[in-house]
Structure 1
Amino acid sequence: MLVASSLALPTTVPAATRQQQPATRVPYTAPVRFAAFNASLNRNSAGQLVTDLSTPNDQQAKNVAEIIQRVAPDVVLINEFDYDAQGTALRLFQRNYLGVGQNNALAATYPYSYTAESNTGIASGFDLNNNGAVVTQPGQPGYGDDALGFGVFPGQFGMALYSKYPIDTAKIRTFQKFLWKDMPGALLPDDAATPAASDWYAPEELAIFRLSSKSHWDVPITIGGATIHALVSHPTPPVFDGAEDRNGRRNHDEIRFWADYITAGKGGYVYDDKGATGGLAAGASFVIMGDQNADPNDGDSVDKAVNQLLDNPAVYTAVAPTSLGGPEQAALQGGANATHKSDPAFDTADFADTGTNPGNLRADYTLPSVTLRIVKAGVFWPKADDPLFRLVGVFTPSLPGGFPSSDHRLVWVDVTVPTTIGARVETPPVLDTNNRPNGEPLGDADDPAIYVHPADPAKSMVLGALKDGGLAVYDLDGKQLQAITSTNVRYNNVDLQYDFPLGSQKADIAITTDRRNDKLVIFRIISATRQLEEITDPALGRVFTANSDQDLIDQKTAYGIALYRSPLTNKYYAFITQRSSLPIAQLELSATSAGKVSWKLVRTITLPAPTGVEPDDVQSEGMVADHRNRVVYIAQEKVGIWKFDAEPNGSAQGLLIDKVYPDGGNLKADAEGLTIYNTANGTGYLLASSQGDSTFTVYTREGANTYLGSYRIGEVGGIDSVQNSDGADVVNVPLGPNYPSGLLVVHDGSNDPAVLEEDDGELENVSTNFKFVAWQDLATRFAPAPLAVDTASASPRAPGRTVVYLPVVAK
């Protein structure tokens, strides 16, 4: 039995939250170029690099600077840049080389830079190479092998970071002193001559042995109001050791450090040099940068070491940097290159190729997070007939280091930064657990629907499906007005429509899918009381499983919903997706003589079966109907967004307007909630939830549904960010003084403060809610160009024609 009631929230239940202050973020409107370059600006004695950079005449430094100037990155990491505690070399390279145009290249000015101590060349006090001698004096034979990281003096082979955008120095995290033994399951090397495991290093050596051969830095950079974390490192080369493979194993775990750091639930063991623990926050944007000394297929690294990053679902790898010079040189040099598995277009290092040498490899990386979008990428390795080939050259023994600049090539990637906005209001959290010590309501928030009040826009409401927690009704401040609960209904998705003919009257209606029973639950919306009352025809049966009790048991039941009002016939329809299945049912809605609402099946759309997807993962959930343009959009979670004719006699052929990664670059599975912002004459925007990277994509409503960009809803004014979003809804009409240009409501699948419970061995946040976003906040800050604000050309109460039902509230 359904129970409808108006509930006052208990005093122990968290109340709705309003943003403490408006966001002041400014969007960035162009791609940002990140580059990593092992520039071989290392010297053989302490202080020599400072001496070399003190004048503008060092030819190798000039070549390195010119490469950077030709590529013109906004952020560049330089590996093998000797560290000095005063940062003198860092400043001199900017002043005398980057800041001076080389060979008519444009000078590069980086107002922000960072360097920090490296483990290289720091005496350990132990015999780390197990040759029977402890070397603690710089310059003595064997000193580098016994140091915490290989180097003949402290700071050799350090790192330097230059940025055109502000570095948030207060939030930099360094991990120089993190101990290798403190990584769970570390690949510690083994001494085969003893029966003990992982005992190449003695316990007292492991007690001081640092994981990083140089260091690992998390450097937050502020770009257009968003933060991108530059995750920089330079793992040790996986060579210069023996059968114990101590350097190869260390290289593997140095790479693994970032893989764990960016993966939810895996970075808890991490501690930084200030004692703070934990990995990167879920949904944070990053670029992993540096010479990883590992190729995915070739060379001496532990098998698949770098694949810990390349195959990580948090890393965006749809576009890989390539060059024309790499394949040319691999063919010319031959040797080991002829037997490589990797495409030489990806190579970034020109290594010796004779004997046991590895040949050219992909060793250097700039790997952005899936929260960013790659525009293009490249490796600075020109062909031999290119005038700039002189900067990279070929191995020449007479040159210091053997090359005009370095044996590595600069690798770069251009990324766009999704607009970040904040929510103004959030609803009280619901918890999907029976353990609710503070009296929080039971529920798993999923799908919202915005109801536009016919008389007073400020009295508009938001309906929220809470699955087993029922259906909630909220006001525009996020306060709950009504809770509809049942012990036998699972309210999965909800949608609403206006002016449905109910006998001699017209009624505003809301319909939810009941996933547990494969039915629809239909309500009348009473605008005067802002309450819902059920008007489902009791004679209605199951939507998909009428002839299959097993499908009901397997929950192949009613899942997503979108209501459609035909502008041709003025008939009302409901599109219903089937969980774990391909069909979408189109149901025609009608009123009964008893004042209830019934339905009949008039059409079935069957989506194509995707390849490489588990049978239970072929489903769709998010949908939205475009009443004016007579189409329905369907988000097939592991595939992309489909577009179909919405009329019951429409074509069975759909158009896939965008695909999920890696087949497309804008959506990261699951593709979820869809909604439409209306502007004049059938124009506007289609919005979609890209659940896998917690972003939202924006397309044109009209025409070919051109992708316009993406945005994130971040933490602003005391309201947390939106993660793992399912459903969303938007309206373009004014809804009182707080939403003069319209309202966007989205589901937050991981609300803060988190309430963690174990699920199949993993901790899951069971706290969810809805976030309210003012359309003007998104429209004015959206990049690369602002979105339209149009409150007068269309109304959700008259979706098929141009009419204004509501007064326009002064902005």
Structure 2
Amino acid sequence: MRLIDIRSIRPGALLPAVLLSACATTGQEAPKAYLPAIDVPAQAETDPVGTGHADAADDPAIWRNAADPAASLIVATDKKAGLYVYGLDGKVRDFVAAGALNNVDLREVTRADGTRRILVAASDRTDKAVPRIALFWLDGTSGKLTSLGAETFFFEGHAPAEAYGFCMGGSLDNGDLARAYVVLKDGTVAESGLYEHDDRVVPEYFREVKLATQSEGCVVDDATQTLFIAEEYVGIWKVPLQGELKARPFARVGVTDGLVDDVEGLGIAREASGRGWLVASSQGDNAYALFDLGTGKLAGRFRINGGAIDGTSDTDGIEVALGDFGPQYPEGLFIAQDGDNAPQAQNFKLLSWRAIREALGIR
């Protein structure tokens, strides 16, 4: 493993004044109403997670099978127990008992021998004093996970911290498989490279950025090399990944941007043309806000409701991926955690991106 002089790393920090200015309004601004949240029904749902009578299901990730889109897979956390793999029919393909895994993401990566593999990683909060990343290989054919163990990434002597949110981005172009971002519960976001050493995948800490209060949801827009982070009671920040990490306001909790605290999961939807949207879970009013990444403006809001399958509430994690996912999801797939799936345990709802796009009038 290469050694880095951490004294040369200058973490980005947000001054309280910045936060106040991001949230402040002037007396000259006219109040604006939320855009209405339009109902869009779920088309399918997953089997419930194994932990019943608890806030357990949390965060999904999507792997698209390019050769057979309808055979794509969903990986999702039971934050009390481990990691599930589901098919698009919602049935369980695999489960790995791996402890308290909170948020999960995945990337197709190229190994040193040139082969392609599906790398799955999750924030491991089993030990709330020592943050770790749990790592797995996913077999796209069988849907089975192979555990690579959980690895810590902070240097020795770092203050105790709880791993909470998690997302991944593309390679740092210096021999790593991918980038990993762990959102600690105190608002610190730590960036690491994921390197393959023999039969292990090992995170190597590089730098961090600090938000002022509790944060969780994050997503990387690989097209622009931008990290988006949800600070739950403040709003959404964007962090360009070139150069020193500095967070900049993107959307705030309040009427103008259509977010009701707390702000939870984030997802990026990119068309082949380059046009893109950021989707955010507005947990406070059981809705989802869609932002145009070109303009940064609120493009619409929707709720999962109606149809033969029950809707969602108190959504933590979400994920979206565009492209062909078979006849039910011809333009893309959106997945959201359902915080109240009574009388069964919590689960995840699946929606067609086309249905969302058409409901919001996006052309």
Deviation for aligned residue 1:475 = 0.4
After superposition, what is the alpha-carbon deviation per residue over 1:91-121, rounded to whole angstroms, capped at 9, x for unaligned? xxxxxxxxxxxxxxxxxxxxxxxxxxxxxxx
Q: What is the aligned partner in structure 1 of residue 355 from structure 2?
A: 777
Task: For residue 710 of structure 1, give the secondary structure of its aligned residue in structure 2.
Answer: strand
> Which residue of the partner structure matches residue 302 of structure 2?
711
Pairing 1:481–2:86 present: no
Aligned-residue offset at 1:668: 0.7
Letter in 1 for 2:338: D
Identify the match of residue 120 of structure 2 among 484, 506, 510.
Answer: 510
Of the candidates 737, 742, 747, which is equivalent to residue 327 of structure 2? 737
Residue 167 of structure 2, aligned match among 562, 571, 579: 562
Shift of 1:450: 0.6
Question: What amino acid sits opposite 2:358 in the alignment?
Answer: T
User: Where does residue 598 of structure 1 map in the other structure?
Assistant: 202
Report the CA distance shift for 1:421/1:585 in structure 2 as closer, same or farther (over 3 A).
same
Structure with higher strand content: 2
Whole-Å separation in 1 of the counterparts to 2:55 and 2:251: 32
Q: Distance in 2 between matches of 1:423 and 1:502?
A: 41
CA distance in 2, matches of 1:480, 1:425: 13
Contact 1:446-1:727 within 8 A present in 2 as well:
yes
CA distance in 1 between partners of 2:179 and 2:35 (Å): 39
Residue in 1 that maps onto 2:41: 422
Distance in 1 between residues matched to 2:50 and 2:114, nearest whole Å:
42
Within 5 Å, give how 1:198-237 maps onto structure 2: none
Q: How many positions carry a matched residue from both structures?
A: 333
**Residue 250 of structure 2 corresponds to residue 657 of structure 1:** yes
In the other structure, the counterpart of 1:589 is 194
Q: Residues 520 and 567 of structure 1: is their aligned pair in 2 closer, same or farther, counting only changes over 3 Å?
A: closer
For the pair 1:528 / 2:141, whether they are aligned, the reply is yes
The CA deviation string for residues 343-374 of structure 1, in whole angstroms up to 9 with x for no partner, is xxxxxxxxxxxxxxxxxxxxxxxxxxxxxxx7
Q: Are residues 752 and 529 of structure 1, via their aligned partners in 2, closer, same or farther at CA, if it must alter by over 3 Å?
A: same
Retained in 2: the 8 A contact 1:567–1:628? no
Q: Residue type matched to 1:711 in 2?
A: F
Output the CA distance in 2 between the equivalents of 1:475 and 1:689: 23
State how 1:665-704 maps to structure 2 within 5 Å: 665-702=257-294, 704=295
Structure 1: where are the runs of 5+ without partners? 1-317, 324-373, 377-414, 436-441, 610-617, 756-766, 789-811
Q: How does 1:53-92 map to 2 (within 5 A)?
A: none
Q: 1:473 to 1:544 in 2, by over 3 A?
A: same
Q: Could you tell me how far 1:573 is from its partner in structure 2?
A: 0.5
Q: Work out which of the residue numbers 327, 335, 339 in structure 2 matches 1:749.
A: 339
Counterpart among 486, 501, 521 of residue 111 in structure 2: 501
Q: Does the aligned pair in 2 maintain the 1:453–1:527 contact within 8 Å?
A: yes
Separation in 2 of the partners of 1:450 and 1:684? 17
Opposite residue 565 of structure 1, the aligned amino acid is G
Question: Secondary structure at 2:356's aligned position in 1?
Answer: helix
Deviation at 1:661, TM superposition (A): 2.8
C-alpha contact (below 8 Å) 1:567/1:627 kept by paired residues: no
* 2: CA distance, partners of 1:600 / 1:665: 36
Equivalent residue for 2:227, pick from 615, 632, 644: 632
3-state secondary structure, aligned to 1:535: strand
TM-score normalised to the size of structure 1? 0.39
Q: Superposition pairs for residues 21-100 of structure 1, below 5 Å?
A: none
Taking the aligned partners of 1:417 and 1:548, their CA distance within structure 2 comes to 45
Name the Cα RMSD after superposition.
2.6
Match of 1:461 in 2: 73
Q: Secondary structure at the match of 2:346?
A: strand
Q: Secondary structure at the match of 1:689?
A: strand
CA drift at 1:469:
2.5
Q: Which residue of 1 aligns with 2:10?
A: none
Flag the 1:570–1:690 CA change in 2: closer, same or farther, 3 A: farther
Are the counterparts in 1 of residues 74 and 85 from structure 2 also a CA contact under 8 Å? yes
Deviation per CA, 1:193-218: give whole Å up to 9, x if none: xxxxxxxxxxxxxxxxxxxxxxxxxx
User: Could you tell me how far 1:603 is from its partner in structure 2?
Assistant: 1.2
Go from structure 1 to structure 2 and tell me whether the alpha carbon gap of 1:727 and 1:570 turns closer, same or farther (over 3 Å shift). Answer: farther
AA matched with 2:238: K
Residues 687 and 680 (structure 1), Cα distance of their counterparts in 2 relative to 1, 3 Å cut: same
Give the drift of 1:681.
Answer: 4.6
Q: Could you say what secondary structure the match of 1:682 adopts?
A: coil
From 314, 318, 326, the counterpart of 1:724:
314
Per-residue deviation, 1:686: 0.6
Larger radius of gyration: 1
8 Å CA contact retained: 1:454, 1:527:
no
Cα displacement (A) at 1:737: 1.3
SS at match of 1:629: coil
Q: TM-score, normalised on structure 2?
A: 0.84
Shift of 1:426: 0.9
Query: CA-to-partner distance for each residue in 1:198-250, whole Å, 9 max, x for gaps?
Result: xxxxxxxxxxxxxxxxxxxxxxxxxxxxxxxxxxxxxxxxxxxxxxxxxxxxx
Question: Equivalents in 2 of 1:724, 1:532: separation in Å?
Answer: 28
**TM-fit CA distance, 1:547:** 2.6
Pick from 516, 519, 525 the counterpart of residue 132 of structure 2: 519
Tell me, yes or no, if the aligned pair for 1:625 and 1:646 is still in contact at 8 Å: no
Confirm or deny: 8 A CA contact 2:73 2:140 kept in the other structure: no
Q: What are structure 2's unaligned runs of at least 5 residues?
A: 1-24
Aligned partner letter, 1:775 = W
| Structure 1 position 459, deviation (Å) | 0.9
More helix by share: 1
Give the superposition deviation at 1:506. Answer: 2.5
1:508: how far off?
1.3
CA deviation string 1:751-789 (max 9, x = no partner)? 233x6xxxxxxxxxxx3110000111111111xxx224x
- Residues 308-343 of structure 1 show CA distances to partners (whole Å, capped at 9, x for unaligned) of xxxxxxxxxx9xxxx9xxxxxxxxxxxxxxxxxxxx
Contact 1:544 1:558 (C-alpha < 8 Å) held by counterparts: no
Q: Determine helix, strand or coil for the equivalent of 2:57.
A: coil
Deviation at residue 715 of structure 1 after TM alignment: 3.1
Q: Distance in 2 between matches of 1:461 and 1:600?
A: 28
Structure 2 match to 1:622: 217
What is the match of residue 13 of structure 2? Answer: none
Q: Deviations over 1:387-416 (max 9, x none)?
A: xxxxxxxxxxxxxxxxxxxxxxxxxxxx64
Taking the aligned partners of 1:686 and 1:773, their CA distance within structure 2 comes to: 16
Cα distance change, pair 546–682 in 1 and its aligned pair in 2 (3 A): farther
